[in-house]
Chains A and B, each alone.
Chain A
């Protein structure tokens, strides 16, 4: 997600430490506590429990210094156009809004609140005690479970009634299930070994284990305060989740959601400083029984072996501010984006070494990434926020690990979609004006933009159906629908209404690993890789 980008300049953190004492005094007052509670209940899921920002900007004494309280009150009342910020007029009283503004302008960024393995254990909720009572097959008509497309519907306020994981049959474009998640659903992962299980991670770092056959949550656990990182191991036995707040990650039993081990995320960054770090992407790979996790601020990738003690191999100096990644070559190679270096680093997960660093436009955000095979070459596609003049989609030859082309597009982009059987790679333009309504299509062969779709809302997170016949796109923010296109004619064929849709996740992802690759190719590669499973 565009808004995930979060910068924590060390200067700000250091500057903030000086304010800790006044905070303690202030928090002691009843009013301070009440305002803190209001912040937690209404603002923290996007702005961060530590006031350090998450999907939305940091709100603290430092970042709001000199801002007009009247202007801040207006934003809270009326919301902020072209963002996810909803209007709180009528939901919060005017006194409370004024109180919040004053509270935020006095409160420093807080230290990371603790969330230990005991907190995780205590947060486990069981909704279905006896899973043997669940139906043996889907309780609805569907040809193939891979036809399921899951959409993370945020809900207008990032919480409440509209916050759901919504599942759609991508052949009929009808909703087949809705699972309420309390706060905004953010990421949906599927279990590669058992088709019935999905895992939904929310903005507030709860993970729901969802039974796709009966379309209900069976368990949930809270793994931290926020952070999008979640991966599932290839054998379907483990989940790893990581947080921005606090700076840790946890391995869970994928069946019971019980925590098995937590990891403090810290290390020496590329500038030689020991830092505590946000969790970036976490990924399981069909290549091996491992997780790879990016330490955003430490610039390291850790490879965790799924065996006794979960030992960690650290790959250091990968880049400044790592974020997301995708797999290639049967899952042996990991392409990981580094925001501040504007590169994508290719990592060999077998040798656990950096292969090469490739140019990646400007502030690369690869989303789930895409890779397609064209004329015998495996080409990777990388989007980037384009926070400079260079708005391009990068294309890399993933065999030779070199840049093939930087395709000019209309603006910043954050997620490419591809399918082995669809002719175009779709990228979402996120620049903050009318372009945000659009998605551009790149011809796989000519590597040129051939069409721009006016989707509506804030159009983002394109995703192909597992059969490659349809392209799903969220008309997000206030667009309130998912729009479906024929992937060849690019004609609109359906709309699916929901509140503030964001990420779209096809169940087919478990078969093709990275969007755009053929499932047959993966199966073939798997057969060639010693010890790899189907």
Chain B
């Protein structure tokens, strides 16, 4: 159980060229629970929900999408506001967390 977690931490850390610190999936889980899970679920979305599944998505993709939402180059009334509350570190952590969840 330990080994894959550490491996993915390292991978996530290397992948995100911007971040100074390695992403923490634990911090990511806490942030996801507080900010994202209401719509996207902590592990997966509800069968009834119209929101896209984040679990298992590529960490780089999640990171770039969140940053686009944050700087409003990608428009969404809801996501522009929500991503606006996240720091670079938050985005790394959240992306690393969802990327390693199996959908």
By a beta-carbon cutoff of 8 Å, the part of chain A in contact with chain B is: 77-79, 81, 86-87, 89-91, 155-157, 160-162, 456-457, 478-481, 497, 499
Contacts and interface: CB of A to CB of B under 8 A. Distances in A.
Contacts of B51: 87, 89-90
Interface in B37-58: 37-39, 41-44, 46-51
Contact of A156 (B33, B34, B43, B46): B46
A157 B50 CA distance: 12
Nearest to A94: B77
B42 A161 contact: no
B46 A157 contact: yes
Contacts of A481: 43
B20 interface: no
Nearest to A163: B48
6 contacts: A90-B49, A91-B50, A156-B48, A161-B47, A457-B42, A479-B42
Given A77-B78, A78-B78, A456-B33, A480 B42 contact: yes
A161 B49 CA distance: 10
A309 to B, nearest CB: 45
B50 A89 contact: yes
Given A87-B38, A478-B37, 14 more contacts: A78-B78, A86-B46, A87-B51, A89-B39, A89-B51, A90-B50, A91-B50, A155-B48, A157-B48, A162-B48, A478-B38, A478-B41, A480-B37, A499-B46
Contacts of A480: 37, 41-44
Contacts of A161: 46-48
A42 to B, nearest CB: 11
B38 A497 contact: no
A161 B48 CA distance: 7
Interface in B14-46: 33-34, 37-39, 41-44, 46
Contacts of A86: 38, 46, 49
Contacts of B39: 78-79, 87, 89
B44 to A, nearest CB: 8
Contacts of A160: 46-48
Contacts of B47: 160-162, 499
B6 to A, nearest CB: 20
Contact of B38 (A79, A91, A456, A499): A79
A254 B42 CA distance: 39
Given A456-B33, A478-B33, A81 B38 contact: yes
A160 B45 CA distance: 13
A479 to B, nearest CB: 6
A225 to B, nearest CB: 22
Interface in B51-79: 51, 78
B74 to A, nearest CB: 16
A245 B43 CA distance: 36
A137 to B, nearest CB: 32
Contacts of A91: 48-50
Nearest to B34: A81
Contacts of B48: 91, 155-157, 160-162
B50 A497 contact: no
A162 B44 CA distance: 12
A478 B39 CA distance: 9
B42 A156 contact: no
A155 to B, nearest CB: 7
Contacts of A456: 33, 42
Contacts of B50: 89-91
A22 B76 CA distance: 38
Contacts of B42: 456-457, 478-480
B41 A89 contact: no
A156 B37 contact: no
Contacts of A157: 46, 48-49
A315 B78 CA distance: 53
A157 B48 CA distance: 8
Given A156-B48, A161-B46, A89 B78 contact: yes
Contacts of A478: 33, 37-38, 41-42
A78 B46 contact: no
Nearest to A87: B39
A135 B65 CA distance: 53
A86 B50 CA distance: 12
A497 B46 CA distance: 12
A456 B37 CA distance: 12
A515 B45 CA distance: 34
Nearest to A478: B37
A89 B48 CA distance: 12
A252 B34 CA distance: 43
Contacts of B49: 86, 90-91, 156-157
Contacts of B38: 78-79, 81, 86-87, 478
A499 B48 CA distance: 11
A497 B101 CA distance: 13
B97 to A, nearest CB: 13
Nearest to B37: A478
A284 to B, nearest CB: 35
A157 B41 CA distance: 12
Contacts of A78: 38-39, 78
